[in-house]
Amino acid sequence: MLPVKSFHGLVLLLSVFVNCGVFGADRPNIIVIMSDDMGYSDIGCYGGEIETPNLDALAAGGLRFTQFYNTARCCPTRASLLTGLYAHQAGIGHMVDSRPESVGEAYAGELSHRAVTIAEVLKTAGYKTYMTGKWHVTGKTSPANESDKKNWPLQRGFDRFYGTIHGAGSFFDPNTLARDNAFVSPFADPEYQPELFYYTDAINDHAARFITEHYQTTKEQPFFLYVAHTAAHWPMQAKDSDIKKYSGRYDAGYDAIRAARLEKMKMLGLLDSRWKISAQSGDWSLVEDNAWEARCMEVYAAMIDCMDQGIGRLIDTLKTNGQFENTLILYMQDNGGCAELMGRNKPFQARANMATLPGLTATFLQTDMIPKQTRDGYPVRQGKGVMPGAADTYIGYGRSWANVSNTPFREYKHWQHEGGISTPLIAHWPAGISAKFNGKLEAETGHLIDVMATCVDIANATYPQEFNNTPMQALEGISLRPTFEGTAIDRRTPLCWEHEGNRAIRVGSWKLVSKYPGVWELYDIEADRTEMVDLSKLHSARVQEMSGLWEAWANRVGVKPWAVVEAAGRKKAK
């Protein structure tokens, strides 16, 4: 009789053989693409004027989900996406800033080892696993030893990785850039030396490269690829050729662009005539420097445009390798538009006529989120009037443009109102989604926790009760695959949110939401998705019932009062 461990190993080996196609049919490849700090209406097929023909084509040949949700912030979203759990269960209840143990493991700031990643699960089903882009689920961005890399991509199931461990930085000179398990300078990397290094291109180029090399070496195995973009997170930086495409397009200001988006959304069937429209943030006539404000949005648009171009190259790579028809592509965004004032309130810093600092060597790797200087010695500038775009600038696009990005919704990144948590979800899979559904608007409610369940279902994998001799938490999400076949999904538990004290729960068409430290508000999302008519006073019993469900969820996943979490963070920082 085989020992238990050997038996488990044999079962795993047989599972790999079966799932690789040795004994069974091939499964689809799976590509998950996530962009950063973008609003619901930014891409063309969701109402935007930004040119995204490749994403639009995927939507036209697949499904567009109209009620899909993220967690309103980058780290929690990535933790939830990767694990199929709520972010608190995955150890990222806030960000990757760890808290004392007294607050609980929900705020460890590290991806939990009682959670398993999509890559770890799909590897057991015979998939090769690749990732490019932003990781941002560990605080160990300056590891002292190999043990500190226990939550780096290769240690969490990926076979190959190219990207950044940290969450934000220069697009022309990113910090914490790594290839597999080692840091690499973008200017001393023998494997990748483009004429101009731009991080969005590097992410897409490596995604395409991994696919190409996969079919040169492992043709019999399907692959899982996670492409995590930093576009269009601040800083607003883009290539000149992309910026020029949008020159003058935003001169009319916030109101005009938002009005055009609303009309397009109506035409696309994304805007219900019953919904009242939330107020515009900002008055273009009162802007002191219209050229600067318009330029911010021009660069933002250019960043998204560049990302879409790279997605087009990725699609071409699939077609070249004969894999486009049998690859499930999921595209989504990590939170709503960002109203943070990064670099916008500082005094203006004029650019010197020549470099004022020593240049940096090719092997130098940036460690700061905001670099002090460019490679050729120019100081990095922030402040009103600094025209964004180039490597020596570092600012965000501001609250009013974020409001345009989130058309027609309220609030922004950080908050649990629809503007903070609503994201497009495009699902494209010609071999698995009937052509009769091409271009369909899918109204089923979904959440990031459903991505793991969908991947497990599609890959014919098994979500483990135990992994690496450690008990795993039960999967929270449900598969979205029924929607690919035109049927409803059977969600039996509410969807819940919490971030920095901002709370929400969705039960059917009802949503209870609170902006910290405020009280609960109640909305009928079907009739009022813009959250303009608070019904809490008319339905006090429903508020009580739903708030009780939220409290039970919060206790179960480890949510603590935000004041307690904040105080613990301040205490640790001293």
Measured CA to CA, the distance from residue 426 to residue 562 in angstroms comes to: 33
Half-sphere exposure of 119 (CA within 13 A, CB side): 22
Q: Which helix (H) or strand (E) holds 440?
A: strand 440-447
- Work out whether the CA dihedral 389, 391, 392, 395 comes out positive or negative: positive
Closest CA to 55 of 310, 241, 264: 310
Cβ(473)–Cβ(111) below 8 Å = no
**Residue of 45, 74, 75, 496 with catalytic role:** 74
Angle, to 10 degrees, between the axis of helix 290-320 and the axis of helix 53-60? 50
Buried b (16+ CB within 10 A) or exposed e, 460-475: ebebeeebeeeebbeb
Q: Is 74 a catalytic residue?
A: yes
Measured CA to CA, the distance from residue 418 to residue 543 in angstroms comes to: 18
**Residue of 88, 136, 206, 414 with catalytic role:** 136
Closest CA to 130 of 61, 228, 51, 36: 228
How does DSSP classify residue 379? B
Alpha carbon distances (Å) from 452 to 66, 122, 448: 19, 10, 8
Write down the number of H helices and E strands in the chain.
14, 16
Q: Is 75 a catalytic residue?
A: no
Cβ(387)–Cβ(302) below 8 Å = no
Measured CA to CA, the distance from residue 234 to residue 62 in angstroms comes to: 30
Measured CA to CA, the distance from residue 538 to residue 277 in angstroms comes to: 22
Lay out the sheet containing 521-524: strands in order across. 495-499, 502-507, 510-514, 521-524
Cβ(357)–Cβ(379) below 8 Å = yes
Cβ(192)–Cβ(257) below 8 Å = no
Measured CA to CA, the distance from residue 403 to residue 280 in angstroms comes to: 7
Would you please indicate which residues are annotated as catalytic (active-site) residues?
A: 74, 136
